[in-house]
Amino acid sequence: MKDIIQQNMMNFIEKVMNVFTNEKALMLDEMEGTLKTYCNEFILSALSNYIEMIDEQIKENKTERRKNGLAIHKNYEERTLLTEFGQLKFKRTYYMNKHMNQYEYVTDKAVGLEGYERVSLNLAADLVNHAADVSYAKSSKYVTDGNISRQTVMNKIRQINDLKTEKPGKKTIKKLYISADEDHVSMQKGSGTIVPLITIYEGVEKVSKNRNKCIEPLYFGKYGTKSEDLWEEVFDWIYERYEYDSIEDIYIHGDGASWIKQGLSTLHGSKYVLDRYHLNKAIMRGTGAQPEFREDIYEAIAKADKEEIEGTIKNMMLNSSSESETKRINELRKYILNNWDGIKIRLTEDCGGCCAEGQVSHVLSARLSSRPMGWSKEGLKRMTALRVYIANKNKVVAKNFKRESKAEEFIERAVNDVKSKLRRVTPDSIGNIEVIRQGKVTPLFRFLKSIENEGYAYR
């Protein structure tokens, strides 16, 4: 088997060199496509050979097999696995485990494959990362040309372990800003729900004339979690990320929802700020039928004159022409008065800017609610966690998936024995290629010689 691997390496090198020495002048795009195909074929062949070498090593060690109760039931059972490089096929042995009274593929366990897996974990990670932005069906189309079902993509998302962002070292800051808002999402049974999002950031900086961005943002969002638990998670992160006692001001920006104000009791000493977007939205709605009073309300807010606001709203009530309009005006009055401290604080303190609406749109809405779809509870929970994880500059990788227990020691020894044999594979046969035998120093000669020399250096 070791000789087969070495021969495959030689065949690969010759096929690659034939592309460069082809009498027909190939364009770069043609060469790129052909070389990619050759590379994928070589990798699949090497993986298949490697797995079958392990299977052979386990089978030959009869003493270890008998000690572990393994008796051969069937030879050369084929398995296929879809990988990043294409369809991987290999053969292995099916054993009867007398100790466990069950049948098993020991070699699958040796290379970390579960019995139900039809997609490699690296490919699964690629599918999941794409599914965070597009539908399950489109993820399959982009990554596998549609060779797996949307159900499989969804299942891979549900097999991911808890996604946690690593905590960096501590730093000292004077001010910390938090924005909180929610996305409104449709469920499969026709009802609606909200998904909260909390963003921690160290300020806002100008990117262009009409665009700002948060400095060092970090996102927290979960579906199906109590708001107090989410705020506790935020507090734990802040405490571990920053020198908490050195923070002079913590500002919580939001729209006045009770779950947002709950953060004030969790983060002691924090101050609430009503964000301008939702305040403007409430004023526009409340003065929709009487826009002539809009400027008066803004002027009263700018002076923090509560009595003037109440007087203006009273006049609007007197001029109201319908019950629905009166209701909207009364809602505006309650909204302003219930959030008065969060409005007034802007006049006395530099509370920073708020980016809650944009953050919700970017992190959640783009996948959860911007298209006509209905989510299951489990699907929404998983997708929310995935979107937040990726927004925090992470990427799903193979190790994020749930794995069964590790292989037994005798299986690990078999793997190490195979690796030891492969270390003795040499590049000697490169010298048989015609260009090397001629000895003429050309770019091609230097290229092949470098492979040969690298091989000896590795030995």
Contact 251, 333 (CB under 8 A): no
Residue type, position 407, single letter: A
The pTM score is 0.85
More confident residue, 17 or 75: 75
Q: Give, as one character, the DSSP assignment of residue 361.
A: I
- The pLDDT value recorded for residue 303 is 92
DSSP string, 99-132: TTTEEE-HHHHHTT--TT--B-HHHHHHHHHHHT
CA 121 – CA 432 distance, rounded (Å): 38
Contacts of 211 (CB under 8 A, 6+ apart): none
More confident residue, 376 or 449: 376
- The pLDDT value recorded for residue 377 is 94
CA 34 – CA 198 distance, rounded (Å): 48
Sheet holding 175-186, edge to edge: 218-220, 192-201, 175-186, 249-254, 271-274
- The pLDDT value recorded for residue 11 is 84
Kindly give the pairing relationship between strand 204-208 and strand 192-201: unpaired
pLDDT tens-digit map of 374-422: 999 999 999 999 999 999 999 999 999 877 667 788 899 999 998 888 7
Contact 306, 340 (CB under 8 A): yes
More confident residue, 18 or 436: 18
CA 41 – CA 72 distance, rounded (Å): 31
Kindly give the pairing relationship between strand 86-97 and strand 70-83: antiparallel
- The pLDDT value recorded for residue 442 is 53
Query: In what helix (H) or strand (E) does residue 213 lie, and over which residues does it extend?
Result: strand 211-214
124: closest CA among 84, 151, 162? 84
Residue 239: pLDDT above 70?
A: yes
pLDDT tens-digit map of 314-331: 999 999 999 999 999 999
Contacts of 240 (CB under 8 A, 6+ apart): 167, 170
- The pLDDT value recorded for residue 457 is 41
More confident residue, 83 or 20: 83
- The pLDDT value recorded for residue 443 is 54
Q: In whole numbers, what is the pLDDT of the chain averaged over residues?
A: 88
Kindly give the pairing relationship between strand 249-254 and strand 70-83: unpaired
CA 228 – CA 226 distance, rounded (Å): 5
Contacts of 11 (CB under 8 A, 6+ apart): none
Least confident of 114-128, 304-318, 322-336, 412-426: 412-426
- The pLDDT value recorded for residue 169 is 84
DSSP string, 1-21: -HHHHHHHHHHHHHHHHHHHT
- The pLDDT value recorded for residue 447 is 52
Contact 316, 283 (CB under 8 A): no
Contacts of 407 (CB under 8 A, 6+ apart): 109, 110, 415
CA 225 – CA 237 distance, rounded (Å): 17
pLDDT tens-digit map of 190-204: 889 999 999 999 998
- For residue 293, the tally of other CB atoms under 10 A from its CB is 18
Task: Give the pair of three-digit tokens for residue 422.
Answer: 């492969």
Q: Give, as one character, the DSSP assignment of residue 245.
A: G
**Helices 323-338 and 306-319, interaxial angle, to 10°?**
170
